[in-house]
Structure 1
């Protein structure tokens, strides 16, 4: 099988990667193939065999490799990380431009750090569901082309079925990729990587400083999107921030049910570094590490530090503008008035006090049913008149704005967990149902209403896990 490969990353200096073929597996079986995405990539969905999707057979033109990167993990510097359980097959040119195709869970690489290089079924199902849901919600994201079981067991706290995800991304280049080269003083490779990222993602910029500004802007828009849908990434290390501006690495990620700004789920985030409300500040912290890595390419150091600091500090204004635009729309507003911020924060404060479901409360605004979610006595009545008066001054159709902005369906943690548990028995019906419903998150789909319900107390998922 021939794919439309053009492997530009493999032409970069070889310090950035190690050639690495996937390790074959015993008996791959397809769980799902994303036929629509396959066609966008110029691939025939029917020709995506289990052996190709597991890495047992390489398509013609592939140049498999494992990428090098470093990173700050929970604020702690790790000088070498890299693809410890993933192999980049190459890049294809499809309807939407150049895309990486990577096999996640494809076996050991030189960067595995004593890991087994494999993935078990649970994280693969989670990433497939959540990344495709994020795409349908309009959030820049890596995507899932396929998932297969391997016919082998993976040992974690117990033996689980192994699985492999075929992940598609604008690229897999991370802040940590730049950090690895800067830490080694490899200016030649750093220059080549910078030129590559500019050409690939930001062709309208010319200099490393302009690239930094472009990445800051992309991340500001991305994090605002996360916040507007109640998404918590869970592990915003610098090696998990893609310079393309896509969401990448769905490990212990989750969507909020009951709203509270301090919400977190990740089992490894003991101090709440990556809680919901912390995400904008952590993005700035990560971007400062990128800026530091780019300083060797930005001329005289004092002037470079000043310019880079200004670029990173520009995140706040860009983020706030995007956040305001998105949350205005969630209230049915497209125009701007001075009191809008107080109106938005007033509702969020009442939601937190009432432990209101984030997704369902905003969705109910358009239907006149949100009062039922704000349970504190008098809380709704002290807020709603100002909102209704504001809506009366809004041109157009505020209800349509709300329905097109506030999803009816998100990938609920408890439903994903139920899909995983069923998948462990070989039953993927709920997994497929979730993907079908979440492909149209803004449609009411009344016959699927159970998937819009928050969890009962016994269904609540309090912790999520990265799967390594």
Structure 2
């Protein structure tokens, strides 16, 4: 097994001089060295062939004992020194101080085919940033992260990737619902891969400590390796860097809204500087279309990170990043001007995205009213988002009165669709038909375009839970079944039609299917 090791982060940035792995405040350093924990009996459950190829390995490599040992933390790659990153962050709107990689350890960086990847283990043991935790992860959260990061990639959503999923062979104690009922669960390790795992919080921690020197070093490093097209560092370059981060973040969030993904924990330490979906914790997929839904039990009361607030929270988080970059620029106007473009960009991009979901290629000033009217009606009764938009591609302008029939499979409780709601739907379908007639394309062409942006298959919460339940019994076949299914989310896949279905009633209030905790 041979990788082209090209470590940059640990070579070019300041390291924590203390080498003992004790919990502590780490200052004037971007990372601390940390060695993964030796596991009792590692067992590889699944490997992503695409990511193997991306980093320069083969399927044969993945069958080797060396691969198993390295990607479960039991062996260190030659000429590498694993480390955990130092960062802070705002958690649920409050500054939390130092956080850092509490259970993530970066193994190395590799270069392959003109791309640069950082390889990280999640759940491989404690680091100086673990605080009161053990740095480990359990099987249920690891299955969810492994499947979802790859599913998101194939949906076209910017994301970190997953290379491998393994059992550690150790038992891990977790209080899943934070209700005092702790129990032992199977320990697991996910190998994550991304061009970088840098987050907003990496920059915030130095600004909060007034360590402008290290902040500048890190920002310059980021521009050099990830935004090199902006040129050499200067105040103007820093502004351009911030604008690029804003644009990338917004693009990611628009994709989340398009496919019905709710992150659940949009803290600033969970926001990638590259605009990648990162940290798949208590995430969830909209079943019924509900702007107020959040998958996170911790957020149940205030719903800060609910589906309908994700774009708004994106701006709040970007404001915190702007505050962190301010010491390098020393004037607020440029940063404020960039932030002030966000709402207009978000509105324009959101409407453009919704037009694409509705099969509208042209722009019409009435589209905003048509879209907002649809969003209101979708919430009058529980209506499955994925099924609704996928089946809407079958709508015919010649028979708008059949609109309700086309989407009826999306209703969770058909008897709740009152005469008043039916009337609202029929009125909307009449307006929609009139709008489609302006387009001048065939129904078949429109259907093809709509089916490229409205997925048929997403990793619904109950699907992931079924795979977890099987895995806890030692049966890992469903992990691969879902992995293969979600590689082609926009294809019809008739053989997999059973997964194009509403959430089963048994899953409505089941832990892991309706809401999740941060416990993993």
TM-score tier (shorter): over 0.9
Q: Which residue of 2 aligns with 1:402?
A: 450
- After TM superposition, the structure 1 = structure 2 runs for residues 69-84 of structure 1, keeping only pairs within 5 Å, are 69-84=87-102
Segment of structure 1 superposing worse, 181-190 or 313-322: 313-322
Which residue of structure 2 lines up, in the alignment, with residue 116 of structure 1?
134
2-structure distance, mates of 1:86, 1:286:
22
Q: Tell me: CA distance 1:213–1:419, structure 2 relative to 1, closer, same or farther (3 Å).
A: same
Query: Are 1:17 and 2:50 matched, yes or no?
Result: no
Which position in structure 2 is the counterpart of 1:235?
A: 265
- Specify every segment of 5 or more residues in structure 2 that has no aligned partner in the other structure, as ranges: 16-28, 175-181, 232-236, 396-404, 412-416
**Is this contact kept in 2: 1:7–1:63, CA < 8 A?**
no
Instruction: For 1:30-179, list aligned pairs within 5 A.
Output: 30-48=44-62, 49-95=67-113, 97-156=115-174, 157-179=182-204
For residues 227-262 of structure 1, the C-alpha deviation after alignment (integer angstroms, 9 at most, x for no partner) is 111110000000000000000000000000000110
Instruction: Say yes or no: does 1:282 pair with 2:301.
Output: no
Answer yes or no: is 1:387 the counterpart of 2:401: no
Structure 1 residues 243-294: Cα deviation after superposition (integer angstroms, max 9, x where no partner) = 0000000000000000011011101113101000111111111111100000
CA contact (8 A) 2:289 2:379 kept: yes
Is contact 1:40-1:96 (8 Å) kept?
no
Q: Who is 1:190 aligned against?
A: 215
Q: 1:345 Cα shift?
A: 1.5
Aligned to 1:211: 241
> Once the 2 structures are TM-superposed, how far is the Cα of residue 422 of structure 1 from its aligned partner?
1.1
Supply the distance in 2 between the matched residues of 1:191 and 1:294 (Cα, whole angstroms): 9
> Which position in structure 1 is the counterpart of 2:470?
422
Separation in 2, partners of 1:325, 1:62? 46
The equivalent position to 1:291 in structure 2, one of 311, 322, 337, is 322
Q: Tell me the distance in 1 between the aligned counterparts of 2:340 and 2:477.
A: 47
The answer to whether the aligner puts 1:365 opposite 2:387 as a matched pair is: no
Distance 1:125 1:31 in 2: 10
Runs (5+) with no aligned partner, structure 1:
none
Q: Counterparts of 1:181 and 1:53 in 2: how far apart (Å)?
A: 31
Is 1:436 the counterpart of 2:479? The answer is no
| DSSP-derived class of the 1:383 partner | helix
SS of aligned partner of 2:98: coil
Q: Provide the TM-score with structure 1 as the length reference.
A: 0.96
Q: CA deviation at 1:51?
A: 0.9
Q: How many residues align?
A: 464
Q: Aligned partners of 2:137 and 2:185: how far apart in 1?
A: 9
Deviations 1:410-438 (A, max 9, x none): 00111111111111111112211111111
User: Does the 8 A contact of 2:285 with 2:461 survive in 1?
Assistant: yes
Secondary structure of the corresponding residue to residue 144 of structure 1? strand
Q: CA deviation at 1:329?
A: 0.7
Q: Distance in 1 between matches of 2:506 and 2:48?
A: 33
Give the Å deviation of 1:60: 2.4
Separation (CA, whole Å) in 1 of partners of 2:261 and 2:451: 18
Deviations 1:286-306 (A, max 9, x none): 11110000011003xxxx212
Deviation at 1:395, TM superposition (A): 4.0
Paired with 2:391 and 2:498, the residues of 1 have a C-alpha distance of 16
| Structure 2 counterpart of 1:465 | 517
- Scaled by the length of structure 2, the TM-score of the pair is 0.87
Distance in 1 (alpha carbons) for counterparts of 2:59 and 2:198: 27
Q: Which residue of 2 aligns with 1:349?
A: 376
Partner in structure 2 of residue 272 of structure 1: 303
Paired with 1:202 and 1:339, the residues of 2 have a C-alpha distance of 38
Task: Please say if residues 507 and 514 of structure 2, whose CA atoms lie closer than 8 Å, have aligned partners that are also in contact.
Answer: no
Q: Matched residues in 1 for 2:343 and 2:81: separation?
A: 40
Q: Give the CA RMSD over aligned residues.
A: 1.4
1:378 maps to 2:403: no
CA–CA distance in 1 between the matches of 2:167 and 2:287? Answer: 30
Kept in 2, the 8 Å contact 1:63–1:89? The answer is yes
For the Cα contact (< 8 Å) 2:270–2:278, is it kept in 1? Answer: yes
Structure 2 equivalent of residue 259 of structure 1: 289
**What displacement does 1:45 show?**
3.2
User: Secondary structure, in 3 states, of the residue corresponding to 1:250?
Assistant: coil
2:400 alignment partner in structure 1 = none
Provide the residue aligned with 1:327 in structure 2. 354
Q: 1:96 deviation in Å?
A: 6.0
Report the Cα distance in structure 1 between the residues aligned to 2:141 and 2:204, rounded to whole angstroms.
27
Matched position secondary structure for 2:228: coil
Q: Deviations over 1:98-149 (max 9, x none)?
A: 1111000010100000211100000000001111110010000001100000
Corresponding position of 1:201:
226
SS of match in other structure, 2:272: coil
Determine the structure 2 residue equivalent to 1:310.
337
Shift of 1:467: 2.7
Say whether the 8 Å CA contact 1:267–1:465 is kept in structure 2.
yes
